[in-house]
Amino acid sequence: MFKTIKNTLVLSLMLVVGIANAAITPNPTAPKIAAKSYILQDFASGRIIAEHNSEQRLPPASITKLMTAYVVSHELDAGNIKLDDEVLISEKAWRMVGSRSFIEVNTKVPVEALLRGMIIQSGNDAAVALAEHIAGSEETFAQMMNQYAQQLGMFNTNYRNATGLPDPDHYTTAKDIAILSAAIIRDSPEHYKWYAEKEYTYNNITQHNRNKLLWRDSSVDGLKTGHTQEAGYCLAASAKRSGMRLISVVLGTRSENARAQETQKLFNYGFRFFETHDLYQAGHKVTSSKVWKGSEKELDLGLAKPLAVTVPRGRYKELVAITNLQQPIVAPVKQGSVLGEVEIRLDDTVVAKQPLIALTAIDQGSWWRRILDTLLMLIWG
């Protein structure tokens, strides 16, 4: 039978003593947002700061192209395509309605030009050309999009095309778009810079990025707008201020200005009333524990991935870390084995938690060590 041992740790750079009795003014509630659905989430911690109907399935319009771009970036990283590959433009791509990059049929256009045209100009023709180049057809590419969506945990999303043009079975949610936006920022930093570009010129035609916040707020550096009559005006955006990055998604607003204004409300609220801190790095020691019958007597425990927390501004010093360890830990121990959990608490609320893993492997000890520890375990229970 395993026992759970709880230890309270004082987080580095945090002062716990003398704070608990201090008077705390609660944060104001989030502003009212004129959208069918929205979410405001911290990038580092994943904490949802504000949301409304964030899991409601809605048409995403051209925000769809975030997944199209994500798939293209992965194909580039895998070496299956290159930025300077020449893509032959099909008649289907050339005839696409809606936003266009004005590529010409039967011409060859580099992947980079198509990718930037799709991200900055929202070119439907560029999206279809990329889909056909990678998968042979847009329909097959949509299957790839859905596979990536499942891998990312976007379980309320289904894609039918690479553009976001209306289809009854083409839908997603604000929450899923936030997951995808974070993945783009995390996994494709070399391509993410294009989402901040205000204009792009192709075929001697200059078009502006439809994300108005790129002009209004210098902290905003992406991501994508969308609009159809069915979807309304939508915007997935990200902003970074003083090292803190937030992701906002608003779906179903009434106008171009409205989607920018409602997003700005969310950003101003999040940055004003919350703060995010990195607590532990992946692979660094969080705590240690005794190991029985091992070649070493003590094992360092840490995290497989970084842990950050988002808390109301001014309450960072009140955080307490509690480690819950499985006992006894008996050798052999494999590196990466889950042996407990660390919880980060604010008052009585768990604001973050993550498994504790063995940072190193420990082999069985000598026969003498095994016999001695067996006797001690019997004596001590």
What is the DSSP track for 243-303? TEEEEEEEEEESSHHHHHHHHHHHHHHHHHHEEEEEEE-TTSEEEEEE-BSBSSSEEEEE-
Give the number of other Cβ atoms within 10 Å of residue 237's Cβ. Answer: 28
Catalytic residue among 45, 65, 175, 181: 65
Catalytic residue among 45, 54, 62, 181: 62
Q: Which residue(s) pair with 234 in the sheet?
A: 226
Query: Annotated catalytic, 122?
Result: yes
- Bridge partners, 289 (sequence order): 299
Q: Distance (Å, rounded) from C-alpha 149 to C-alpha 9? A: 38
**Residue 92 bears catalytic tag:** no
65 is catalytic: yes
Nearest to 2 by CA among 354, 302, 289, 285: 289
CA 262 to CA 216: how far, in whole Å?
13
Catalytic-role residue among 37, 101, 122, 248: 122
- DSSP reduced 3-state for 30: coil
Count Cβ atoms within 10 A of the Cβ of residue 3 and give its class: 0-12 exposed, 13-18 middle, 19 or more buried.
exposed
Helices 65-77, 138-152: crossing angle, 10 deg rounding: 90
What whole-number distance in Å separates Cα of residue 171 and Cα of residue 169? Answer: 6
Active site residues: 62, 65, 122
